[in-house]
Amino acid sequence: MGRRTDGLRLWHCPDWRDGLTDALRLSAAMTSKFAVAGLPSGGGKAVVALPEGRELDTDRRRDVLRDVADVIASLSGAYATGPDVGTSPADMAVIGETTPHVFCKPADLGGSGDSSPHTAQGALAALRAVSRRLYGTSSLGGRSFAVIGLGRVGAGLARLLAAEGAILTVTDIDPDKQKISDELGAVWRSPDETLAADVDIVVPAALGSMLTSRTAADLRCRAVVGPANNQLATPDVADLLHQRDIIWVPDYVASAGGVINAISTELHRVSADEARARVRAIEDTVDDLLETAQRCGQTPAQAASELARRRLNGTSGPTGTNHGAVAVPGSVAR
C-alpha cells in the first residue's frame, strides 16, 4: 500500500468529533485527488480540532505541532503531511524536527515551500478547460468570476485572474481582505451575495460545504470551478447543478496543483519546469473529464469518480474505502 499524503488542517471545531468527521471526509477526497492526478501516494488528512475560542500563542502552537509530529512518527512512514488551512511551511519545519515524513518545508530547509501558488495555478488550468468548453477559448480575459475566499490560494488565484484581464467579484469572511479587492479593482460583496452573483464562473476558495440544495438553486453562473475542498454539502448537489446546466468540476480535480508540485519535486525529484508542466496538465485532465461526461451522458463528478475508481483498482495503492485520516483533539494543546 502506498504512503498516504496530504495536509494538516488546524481549525476551530465545536467538538473534536467534528474534526474527526472533517478528517474522514477530507481523506476520502484526497484519495480521489491523488488517483485522478495519477499520483501513487495515496490520500490522507490530519486535522487538529481546536476548541472554539482557543487561540494558540507561539509556545502553545509549537507544542501542538510537536504532538502532531509524534503521531505522524508513530505511523512509521504510512502517512506524511503538508500545509493546509491554518498551517504553513514554517509549521512543517517544526514537524520536520521530529519526523522526516513531511512535505512543503521552506525551500532553504530542503522542502518545496508554499504549495498555495501551485494550487492556484492548477485551479487556473481547470478554469481554462472550462472556459474552452463554454466559450470555445481558454482565454479568461473579459470573463467574469466570483471568487469566494481570499486566503493564500484564493488571493493568489484572484491575482492570476486579474492578470488575465478577468472581471472579478470577491469576498471573504475576514473584512480586512477587502484591501485585496481594492488592490485588484474587484467588486467586494458579502459571501452570500458573491455565491449568487451573475457571473460566468463561481470560484469556491474557502472552507467546504458551500454548495447546498438551496445555494445551488440560487446560482446564476454557468460553471463552478475552484480549489476549495469538499465543496458539496451532499453528493446529490452535483446532480442538481447538472440539471441546471451548470458545470461543476470536482474540487479534488481543480485543487490538485499543490500536491502535484510537492510530490513531483520532493518524491519524484523532477525539475521545477517539469513540475509546473504537470500542474498545467490539470487543464488536459479537465478537458478529458468534460469530454467523457458529455459522451457518456454523465456528470463531470461521475466521470471523475469512475476515473479514480479505475486507477485505484488498477494499482496496489489504497482503495476508495480505505482512507487515511488522523484527527487530533484540541486537548493536545495542553
Q: Provide the β-strand partners of residue 51.
A: 13
Check residue 186 and give left, alpha or beta (phi > 0: left; psi -120 to 50: alpha).
beta
SS3 at position 51: strand
At position 45, the amino acid (one-letter code) is: K
Distance CA 147, CA 134 (A): 19
Output the CA angle 149-155-158, nearest 5 degrees.
95
Distance CA 1, CA 3 (A): 7
Distance CA 39, CA 261 (A): 11
Distance CA 147, CA 46 (A): 26
Q: Provide the β-strand partners of residue 82.
A: 7
Q: Annotated catalytic, 45?
A: yes
Q: Provide the β-strand partners of residue 248.
A: 224
Are 111 and 103 in contact, with CB atoms under 8 Å apart?
yes
CA-based R_g, the chain, Å = 19
At position 283, the amino acid (one-letter code) is: E
Taking alpha carbons only, the member of 297, 299, 300, 304 closest to residue 320 is 304
- 265-283 b/e (C-beta count within 10 Å ≥ 16 → b): bbeeebeeeebbebbbbbb
- Name the catalytic one among 33, 45, 105, 177: 45
Integer angstrom CA distances of residue 7 from 98, 114, 117, 127, 149? 17, 12, 15, 24, 19
Q: Catalytic positions, please? A: 45
